[in-house]
Amino acid sequence: MPDAVPVAAARNSAVAPSPRNRQSACGNGGGTGTDLKAQEISPGTQARAEDVAQQERGEHLSTHFAGRRWPIFKLTLGTGVLTVLTLGLYRFWQKTRIRRWYWSAIRPGGHPLDYVGEPFEKLLGFLIAVVILAFYIGIVNLGLMFASFAVFQGNTAAYALSFVGVIPIWFYARYRARRYVLARTRWMGLRFGLAPGAWGFALRALWHWLLTLITLGLLWPRMTFKLEKYRTDRTWFGDHSMEQGGSWFMLFWCIKWHLFALGLLFVSTVVLGAGLAPLAILGYILAGLMLLFGAVYYRVETRKRMAGAKRLGPIRLQLVLSPFRVFWILLSGYALALLVSAIPTAFLGVLFLRLQSADTLTEVGMENVSQLFSGADRWLLVGMTAMSYFAVFLIWSAVTQAWVTLPLTRLYARGLRIDGAESLPAIHQRPRDDHLEAEGFAEALDVGASL
C-alpha cells in the first residue's frame, strides 16, 4: 500500500507528540515537565500538566480547533453569492469547501481531519436522486389519488398518505448522507466508514417514533439510544468497528427539564383558573424557557453520555461539555444574526413599499405621479429589491455560520478526548466506499444541508 508508511508515521506521531508541542504545552514560559514540578502551581495548571504527561505517554489525545470566525464568514458569504448567481448550482461546491474548512480545523491529537468529497459527485448524486424520487412520488401519488377519489370521493386522504409515504425515505436519506460523509472523511490517512443499512434504519426510526408518540415522549431517550446504537455499531475507523455501549436508561433523566416544564405548565393552568392571571402568565413564560433549554440540555447530555460509552476496541471517547454554554451560544448567536439581518430586511421592506405605491397610484388614475417610478427607475427598484431579498438569506447564513456553527463546533471539538490512543498504530486502512448517488437523496429532500 503506497501510503502505509506516512499513515503509520502519522499514527505514531499522534501517540508521541513532537518536542515542540510538548514544550509549548507544558507551561507559559516553555519550560519542561521537571520545571513545572519545581514551581508552585495552581490546581488547574497541575491538571493541565497531568493531561500533557498522559498525552505524552500515549494514554489519551486531546482535540484542538484552529478555525476563526472571519475566514468562515468570508467563505460562507462569498460562496453564497456564487450560489445565488448560478441559481443554486454552486451550492455543491459551497458545501464541499465549507466542510473541508471545518474538517481541517478539527485536530484530534494535533492531526487535522480531512474531507475528500467532491462537488461533482454531489451534483451527479442529486440529479440521480431527483429522477428516482420523481418517478417514485409520481407513480405513488397517481395510485393514491385514484384510490382516494374512488373510496373517499376526494383528494385529502391521498395527500395525507403521500406525506406519510415520504417519511421513511427521509430517514433513508439521512442514513445515506451520514454514510457518504463518513466515507469521505480521513484522519491520519485512515478512512471512516458506515456499513449499509439505510432501510433498516428507516424502519427502526418509524417504529421508535411510533412508540415515542404513543408514550407521549417518555420513550424519547430509548429512541435516541437505539437509533444511535444502530448507526454506531455499523461505523468503522480503518479496519476497526465501533460499538455503542450502555443502555437507554442512562439517558432517561436527560428529559428532566421537559418534565419540570410540563409540571410548571400544569401549575400555571391551575393558577390561571384561580384568577391569578399575571402569575400564570409568568409561569407560562418560564415554562417556555425551560422547554427551550430542555431541548438543548437533552441534546448535549445524550451526546456526552453516549460518547463516553462508545468503543473502538480498547480506544474510548470522552466528551466534556456544558449545556449552559451551548444554550448561550445559540441564544446570543441567533440574536446577533436577527439583528444584523434586520438591516437588509428593513431596506427590502422600504423598496417593496415603493414598488407597491407606484402600482397603487397607477390603479387610482394618478399616472403622472406614478411616472416617477417608471422606466429605468422602476427596473432599478426591482433589481435592488431582488438583491435585498437574497442579501437577507446570505447575511443570515454567514452570521450564523460564524457565531453559531463555529463556536459550537469549537466547543464540541475541544471537549473531545480520545483515551487508549496507544492502540492507534494497530489500526489499518479500510477499502474505499463508492456512493453512486452520494448524498443526493438528502439534498433532494432537504435533509443534507447541514455539515
Backbone region of residue 195 per phi and psi (left: phi > 0; alpha: psi in -120 to 50; beta: other values): beta
Query: Are the CB atoms for 101 and 71 separated by under 8 Å?
Result: yes
Q: Looking at the domain assignment, is residue 222 inside a domain?
A: no
Cα Rg, the chain, nearest whole Å: 27
User: DSSP for 128-166?
Assistant: HHHHHHHHHHHHHHHHHHHHHHHHHSSSHHHHHHHHHHH
Q: What is the pLDDT of residue 36?
A: 36
Could you tell me if 278 and 358 lie in one domain?
Answer: no
pTM of the model: 0.80
Q: Looking at the domain assignment, is residue 97 inside a domain?
A: no
Q: What is the pLDDT of residue 25?
A: 38
Cβ contacts of 311 within 8 Å, gap of 6 or more: 242, 243, 244, 245
Q: Looking at the domain assignment, is residue 437 inside a domain?
A: no
Q: Looking at the domain assignment, is residue 234 inside a domain?
A: no
Q: Looking at the domain assignment, is residue 263 inside a domain?
A: yes
- Continuous H helices in 243-311: 256-273, 277-308
Q: Looking at the domain assignment, is residue 354 inside a domain?
A: yes
Provide the number of structural domains found in the chain. Answer: 2
Return per-residue pLDDT of the chain as tens, 451 residues. 445 445 555 566 565 544 334 333 333 444 433 333 333 334 444 544 555 555 555 578 999 999 999 999 999 999 999 998 998 889 999 999 999 999 999 999 999 999 999 998 888 888 888 887 777 777 776 776 666 666 666 666 666 666 777 788 889 989 988 999 999 999 999 999 999 999 999 999 999 999 999 999 999 999 999 999 999 999 999 999 999 999 999 999 999 999 999 999 999 999 888 888 889 999 999 999 999 999 999 999 999 999 999 999 999 999 999 999 999 999 999 999 999 988 877 777 776 676 666 555 454 444 444 444 454 466 666 667 777 778 888 999 999 999 999 999 999 999 999 999 899 999 999 888 876 566 766 776 665 444 4
Q: Looking at the domain assignment, is residue 121 inside a domain?
A: no
Could you tell me if 344 and 399 lie in one domain?
Answer: yes
The DSSP output letter for 431 is P
Q: Which domain holds residue 344?
A: 321-413
Largest CA distance in the chain: 91
Q: What angle do CA 44, 46, 48 make, to 5 degrees?
A: 70
Could you tell me if 343 and 291 lie in one domain?
Answer: no
Helix (H), strand (E) at residue 44: helix 43-56
Q: Looking at the domain assignment, is residue 361 inside a domain?
A: yes
Query: Are the CB atoms for 287 and 265 separated by under 8 Å?
Result: yes
